Amino acid sequence: MQQPDVVIIGAGAAGLMCAITAGRRGRRVRVIEHTNRPGKKILMSGGGRCNFTNTGTTPANFLSANPHFCKSALARFTAWHFIERVEQHGIAYHEKELGQLFCDVSSKLIVKMLLDDAQDAGVEVVTDCSVNELSHNGDRFALRTTKGAVTSESLVIASGGLSIPRMGATGFGYRVAEQFGHRLLPTRAGLVPFTTSGKHLERWSELSGLSLPVQADCSGASFSNAMLFTHRGLSGPAMLQVSSYWQPGDDLRINLLPDTDAQEWITSQRQQRPDAALHNVLADVLPRRFAQRICDLEFGERPMRQYDPPQLKRIADYLSRWPIVVSGTEGYRTAEVTLGGVDTDELSSTTMASKRVPGLHFIGEVVDVTGWLGGYNFQWAWASGHAAGQAC
């Protein structure tokens, strides 16, 4: 069999986009995937409907030790380029909120689109294939795989991060990076639910399933969106977003009344409704069960007129800075992404090529570029895959 020009490790979002781009340039491309099916994370994404991009994507929506690194690739392959392909394939989609685009029917259509385009570009996708050994002789890469030996001029590492191991995530890309002398930035789970323990778990876990809008702040980042109580702690978009900025010991601030001055509001409620019980007043702005629980635990259920100004201040402080302490996160088991990874300092931002080894590229989640929740991570996968595919 003729040897490929380009070998791509990982048939996920970034790997398939890179393969299509390189294949369309006439490169012989082989994608090696160790699971039995390409695009498993795409299939499970967006609740089965794949939030495939975000029309508001800017470099500010990404975390990276070098916030400038993602700019070039994102500018050259935008959300609109991907939308054009989706439309060409007749895939119906809709905007959910904040520029987030989802398939109307199923994520399967995105995987099918990528595989059809890959096939048209002459790409060979080999599944159930693992790499046992990898070397570079200064000219070509040599791989010993479970389906035979292969050599190539370019090698693209698109094997993703560590999140959701049962979907095929491995630390392969990081090991390759280390093998070739690349620096790795510490990895950790991102876009992940928080866990609580002790009284913080006991007090709130029975509200599991309840959700409300909050503003969550941590390490200079602020997100206004829904928070969801779970039987382990806290999830929902606001908490997932802020989890990427949180590290143990960091101060996490949750405002239960976003866009409202809690002190002003509670004072005016006392004036306007002196006979209303506090839990009924709180239930106007919070889910009733949550309001009731707060009163049971902290403030009682008296009529508003019986709360004096210092007590009203305590209530306002409680609402604008809910005193919950998180103990950790659910980790890679449920995280949508992995923060950190291959240091961008040693990669070209235009081609994703290694500055150490000619012909080696790193794309997608394995690189230290992580998007917010909302389609940004796929947009990074498409953009970085496209950038490498044009160059490899």
Ligand X SMILES: Cc1cc2nc3c(=O)[nH]c(=O)nc-3n(C[C@H](O)[C@H](O)[C@H](O)COP(=O)(O)OP(=O)(O)OC[C@H]3O[C@@H](n4cnc5c(N)ncnc54)[C@H](O)[C@@H]3O)c2cc1C
User: Which residues of the shown chain bind ligand X in the complex (CB under 6 A)?
Assistant: 9-15, 32-35, 40-41, 44-46, 50-51, 130-131, 158-160, 163-164, 168, 170, 172, 336-337, 364-365, 375-378, 381
User: Of 12 and 236, which CB lies nearer to ligand X in the complex structure?
Assistant: 12
What H or E segment, with its residue span, contains residue 84?
Answer: helix 79-88
Give the nearest distance from C-beta 230 to ligand X in angstroms: 15
The nearer residue to ligand X, 190 or 282, going by C-beta atoms, is 190
Comparing CB distances to ligand X, the nearer of 61 and 267 is 61
In the bound complex, what is the minimum distance in angstroms from residue 163's beta carbon to ligand X? 5
Q: Which is nearer to ligand X, 35 or 195 (CB)?
A: 35
State which residue, 135 or 306, has the beta carbon closest to ligand X.
Answer: 135
Q: Which residue minimizes CB distance to ligand X?
A: 12
- Name the strand (E) or helix (H) holding 94: strand 93-95
CB of 116 to ligand X, least distance (A): 18
Find the shortest distance in angstroms from Cβ 51 to ligand X: 3
> Whose structure tokens read 């629980």?
293
- Tell me how far apart the alpha carbons of residues 63 and 61 are, in angstroms, rounded to a whole number: 7
CA dihedral for 116, 122, 128, 132, sign (positive or negative): negative
Between CA 133 and CA 305 the distance in angstroms is 75
Q: What is the DSSP string of 147-202?
A: TEEEEESEEEE----SS-GGGT--SHHHHHHHHTT--EEEEEEES--EE--HHHHH
Structure tokens at 210: 């309840």
CB of 98 to ligand X, least distance (A): 13
Comparing CB distances to ligand X, the nearer of 51 and 320 is: 51
Residue 370 DSSP label: E
Question: Could you tell me the smallest distance in angstroms from the CB atom of residue 143 to ligand X?
Answer: 10
Helix (H, G, I), strand (E, B), or coil: what is residue 115?
Answer: helix
Return all residues near 367 (Cβ < 8 A) that are at least 6 apart: 341, 342, 344, 347, 352, 384
